[in-house]
Amino acid sequence: MEKSFDVLIIGSGHAGGMAAKVLTERGARCLMLNAGPVADVARDASRKPAYDLPYRGFKPPGRLEHVFQASEFNANVWVDEEEVPYTFDAANPYNWVRVRLFGGRSLFWSRQSFRLSDYEFKGKSHDGFGEDWPIGLADLAPFYSRVEEIFQVAGAKDGPPQMPDGNFVPVDDVWSESMDRFVKAAKPYGMPVCKQRRAQGRDGLASSVNLLLPDAEKTGKLTSIANAVVREITVDKKTGLPDGCHFVDRLSRREMHVTARVVVLAAGTLESTRLLLNSGLGNSSGMMGHFLMDQVYGPGITCSVPEARNGKATKSLMGGGAIVPRFRNIETKHDGFLRGYALNVTSSTGGLDPRNFAAYGAELEQKLREYHGSAFHMSMMGEVLGRYENQVRIDKQRVDAWGIPVLRIETKYTDNEYKMAKDAIAVSSAVAEAAGFEVLTKNDVPNPPGYSIHEVGTCRMGDDPKKSVLNKWCQSHDHKNLFVVDGARFVSAGWQNPTMTILALSMRASEHLADEMGRSNV
Amino acid sequence: MLRRDFMRALVAVGSLPNALFAQQTVNPAPPPPAPVPWTLGLNPKTPVPVTETADGVAEDEARFFTLAQMAAMTRLCEALLPAMAGKPGAVEAGTPGFLDFLIGKSGEARKRIYAGGLDWLNAEARQKYKREFAELDAVQVYAVIRPWLRTWMTDHPATEAHADFVNIAHDDIRTATMNSKAWDDASSAAGRDWVTGGLYWSPIEPDMAGLGATANHLPPHVLAVPKAANSMPSYPR
């Protein structure tokens, strides 16, 4: 007894949750499929001492080798690399960090909330590299504002043009003395230092499951199925248009089918692209799978503020965080690389990691006591350029636990990213020293691509159907009732965490879809 | 006859008439069907047995390190994290045995770093002091270890030979010790609670593939992604 829906939404994270909210509130009957189960913290999680776990809190050996973020405590929330494998050249590893729980990665994101600027939307116009997006900040600004309201983004309106201000819950804290010293030392380097911008959400969570899906459920028009692993999007043989999907129940392996008038993909950048490639849809341009991007994470420095040592850290001296938005290649041109990076800056009153001292035993303990409360950290978020050769495709030699062909990921950083990382560490160290801080540790080697969990691209938007997969409404150039509303549609990565842009674009695309359905154009 | 054997004999004699009587019953009650129906089994009123974690009660049996490697590891643990300020040291926390287990379960790269590193410690000790590393005093240990200590950021330990082992082992020894039952007990005794704790996620509706006799028709688990014998800025754990 198959039931047909107006819209099939595949994925339940920020992108899918926003689509469900907008479309159901506009009257569409939606079916949401999610590949994993519902996580219930009361049922599935409990406080435990590390010694009570088999590996004393260490990551279980051999599991989740490419999820650096995993520990024994959270190992069961990530996608198992054996259950859903992916392949790559061993010389160019990729860290594909995935969550298939209902709500996806929206359950665990870092909350940093930035708008892209026209330095990203119109990047090609600025420096000649890549392609411009088919939209600009002015197109997306109203949607950003509404998203910021829903997610309760806290911040100050102190951004330069490359970090547009938004609809913020005001923050009025003042810089601590150590932050103030950093601000002054950064000035000669042309580094704007701004207050952090974070989604506060509600009740401690800023996720699809508490901020978006409840609104959709309230309409009575959302049906959701958990543990539905989508195998393939199906096509109406008469019209050639997508008309639903085959999925397999994750637990029972029961094969099932659903139909819908419109298909909205929100499974996460690489899963959406994998599904389209496995379905043989939407790729008349040949661009699908190409231009995989993310952000360089890993490089950074750890410093100590001398005046805060030996128990002298006070709230007026230490504490607080800042964001240094991209400052390279804005008004001047840097010789070494295109685009730029941001720096997360934190002044901490907590302890320093023992790795910051080349000492052990009693000497190390003495250092840890002496330096406690004096930590000052800077870490880099660098834009990875969109290159055709950084791509994903289907690996026909390998299938996942449900027999679905897996993704092969072929991507690597280039000199542009490596030089950017070295510059970030050189400038950070210079500013720290100018501020009177002692630099304890530095690293200019990026983590493997994917580590940032900010993978974007592979189904990019564009006005030209020969050079892009989606139009400016995130609608397939090939199939008018097929939309991709997650990070796959990005044209460039920017230095910014992508969540606010994913949400705003999903809201915009979903409202357009609702309009078009109302006009019977879709 | 020991007293307990005498008491056993008394109990056996006392129960004999009942046993004989039971054999004379004309219509004995049929034995209950097996297994006992679940409705008669566990229920919300069933007392939950109290158990202890083995860590802190039992000792590990070394399976991975050789005797010489384990002796070097124990000395290394003793030197890098000795008992201080009311907290147990790495040896008291059973860290050498735990690391034998952890490394033995780990991938080849990690095994190589540890086995090679411990052999190197012994070789250095023999070359410099004509003794095994386990026999060195604190000054001699310092002379062997200190040149290889590095500062490093998360996921980016030193990659040069010897420095990789010394710094990774130091980090692992500290983590294993501070997450041990002994460390937690010491903290509790000092009025601090749950110093090693965290929110642990159980498997959430785990996939049934590969479990039980009915799994034969299901696709087998596929191989993991290639192990990272490559230039990753970390070593696989």
pLDDT tens column, A475-486: 999 999 999 999
Q: Comparing B40 with A300, which gets the higher pLDDT?
A: A300
Q: What is the pLDDT of residues A176-196, one digit of tens each?
A: 999 999 999 999 999 999 999
Tell me if A213 sits within 8 A of A16, measured CB to CB: no
Compute the distance between CA of residue A399 and CA of residue B63 in angstroms, rounded to an integer.
Answer: 35
Q: What is the pLDDT of residues A370-415, one digit of tens each?
A: 999 999 999 999 999 999 999 999 999 999 999 999 999 999 999 9
Which residues lie below 8 Å from residue B157, measured CB to CB, with a gap of 6+?
B150, B164, B167, B168, B171, B234, B235
**Pairing mode of beta strands A86-87, A405-410:** parallel
Q: What confidence category does residue A509 fall into, taking pLDDT thresholds of 50, 70 and 90?
A: very high
**Pairing mode of beta strands A341-348, A375-383:** antiparallel
Supply angle C-alpha B183, B187, B188, rounded to 5: 115
Q: Does residue A51 lie in a domain region?
A: no
B107 min Cα distance to partner chain A (Å): 6
Mean pLDDT value of segment B59-77: 94
Q: What is the pLDDT of residues A87-104, one digit of tens each?
A: 999 999 999 999 999 999
pLDDT of B213 above 80? no
Q: Does residue A172 lie in a domain region?
A: yes
What share of chain A in percent tops pLDDT 70? 100
Compute the distance between CA of residue A20 and CA of residue A35 in angstroms, rounded to an integer.
Answer: 16
**Pairing mode of beta strands A169-170, A194-195:** unpaired
Q: Does residue A55 lie in a domain region?
A: no
What share of chain B in percent tops pLDDT 90? 53
pLDDT of A154 above 80? yes
Mean pLDDT value of segment A515-521: 97
Number of domains in chain A: 1
Contact list, A443 vs chain B (CB under 8 Å): 152-153, 156
pLDDT score for B34: 63
pLDDT score for A172: 85
Q: Does residue A417 lie in a domain region?
A: yes
Q: Shortest CA distance to A30 belongs to which of A521, A472, A520, A517? A: A517
Q: Does residue A57 lie in a domain region?
A: no
pLDDT of A260 above 80? yes
CB atoms near residue A250 (< 10 Å): 24
- pLDDT mean across residues, chain A: 97
Q: Determine the residue type at A180.
A: D
Structural domain for A282, as ranges: 4-42+66-518
Which residues lie below 8 Å from residue A518, measured CB to CB, with a gap of 6+?
A26
SS (H, E, C) A143-171: HHHHHHHHHCEEECCCCCCCCCCCCCEEC
Q: Does residue A59 lie in a domain region?
A: no
Q: Flag if B151 and A86 touch (Cβ within 8 Å).
A: no
Q: Determine the residue type at B182.
A: A
Mutate to test the interface with A, among B201, B211, B231 (most CBs of A within 10 A): B201
Mean pLDDT value of segment A226-239: 97
CB atoms near residue A222 (< 10 Å): 23
Task: Tell me phi and psi for residue A364, to 5 degrees.
Answer: -65, -45
pLDDT score for B191: 80
Q: What confidence category does residue B33 fall into, taking pLDDT thresholds of 50, 70 and 90?
A: low
Q: Flag if B150 and A358 touch (Cβ within 8 Å).
A: yes
Q: What is the pLDDT of residues A302-314, one digit of tens each?
A: 999 999 999 999 9
pLDDT score for B206: 79
Tell me if B127 sits within 8 A of B108, measured CB to CB: no
Task: Tell me phi and psi for residue A60, to 5 degrees.
Answer: -55, 125
Going from N- to C-terminal start, the domains of chain B cover 67-182
Whole-complex ipTM = 0.94
Which residue is associated with the tokens 């949400």? Answer: A503
Structure tokens given for B107? 């991938």
DSSP codes of every residue in A70-110? --TTTGGGSPPTTTS-EE--TTS--------STTGGGGT--
Supply angle C-alpha A268, A270, A276, rounded to 5: 100
Q: What confidence category does residue A351 fall into, taking pLDDT thresholds of 50, 70 and 90?
A: very high
pLDDT score for B58: 81
Contact list, B105 vs chain A (CB under 8 Å): 61-62
Contact list, B237 vs chain A (CB under 8 Å): 58-59, 61, 65
Q: What confidence category does residue B232 fall into, taking pLDDT thresholds of 50, 70 and 90?
A: very low
Q: What is the pLDDT of residues B164-181, one digit of tens each?
A: 999 999 999 999 999 999
pLDDT score for B51: 85
pLDDT score for B193: 67
Mutate to test the interface with A, among B202, B205, B218, B227 (most CBs of A within 10 A): B205
Q: Does residue A54 lie in a domain region?
A: no
DSSP codes of every residue in B38-103? GGGS--TTSPPPP---SBTTB-PPP-SS-HHHHHHHHHHHHHHS--BTTB--TTTTTHHHHHHHHH
Compute the distance between CA of residue A264 and CA of residue A282 in angstroms, rounded to an integer.
Answer: 13
Query: Can you give the CATH number for the domain in which A133 is found?
Result: 3.50.50.60
Render the burial of B137-163: b for 16+ CB within 10 Å, e for the rest.
Answer: eeebbeebbeebbbbbbbbbbbeeebb
Q: Does residue A58 lie in a domain region?
A: no
pLDDT score for B36: 63
Q: Shortest CA distance to A31 belongs to which of A256, A269, A274, A278? A: A256
pLDDT score for B55: 81
pLDDT score for B43: 77
pLDDT score for B129: 98
